Amino acid sequence: MVKAKAKAPAPPEKPRAAPKVAFPKKAQPPTDAEFAARLPAQVGKRFEVLRTFLKKQGAAEDFFYYGPRSGWAYRYLKDDQSLCSILLSAGKLVGIVALDGAAQSKVTWDGLSDVGRRARKLAHGTPALLWLDVPLDGTGAIDFKSLLKAKLARVA
């Protein structure tokens, strides 16, 4: 009689560590230098291009605390209207923009890269106000700028 070999149990999966929030303490806002120091060189260049673009549009820049899960982020306002936020999430630079229906209609969605189209697919909110989280590495920075142009056309 041949005994069937018992299968060894699969090793237990290691729990994933929660992504570390870059600047979690409300009482300790980062400086521009501290924020920039966490960015890889190429991403840092894209970030500076976006900052320059926003400032040329008349946007005011400040640090804003979004809570312990998100930490501190750059926030951009124009005439007291929020344009976008840029933060470090799980070690990656992410731009967040909310588009109302009119701004959404100004976006050429088919003209966006795969990064922008994926951000639209994963967007949250309602059709009246769609929140897009766009990774700013690779082509995401160009897509984010296109989304901002649509929003700026509504704010101006």
In the structure encoding, which two tokens stand for residue 25, read together?
């303490």
3-class secondary structure, 65: strand
- Residue 137 CA, chain-centre distance (Å), reads 10
Inside any domain, residue 48: yes
Inside any domain, residue 124: yes
Q: What's the confidence (pLDDT) of residue 18?
A: 46
Range of the domain at 89: 32-155
CB of 91 closer than 8 Å to CB of 40: no
| pLDDT tens string 14-34 | 655 545 788 888 999 999 999
Inside any domain, residue 97: yes
CATH of the domain at 97: 3.90.1150.20
- Could you give the dihedral angle defined by the CA atoms of residues 56, 62, 66 and 72, in that order, rounded to the nearest 10 degrees? 100
| pLDDT tens string 56-82 | 999 999 999 999 888 999 999 999 899
Inside any domain, residue 3: no
Inside any domain, residue 108: yes
Inside any domain, residue 16: no
Inside any domain, residue 9: no
Which residues 6+ apart lie within 8 Å of 28 measured at CB?
Answer: none
| pLDDT tens string 109-152 | 999 999 999 999 999 999 899 999 999 988 999 999 999 999 99
Q: What is the pTM of this model?
A: 0.83
Angstrom distance (rounded) from CA 25 to CA 18: 16
Inside any domain, residue 5: no
Q: How many domains does the chain have?
A: 1
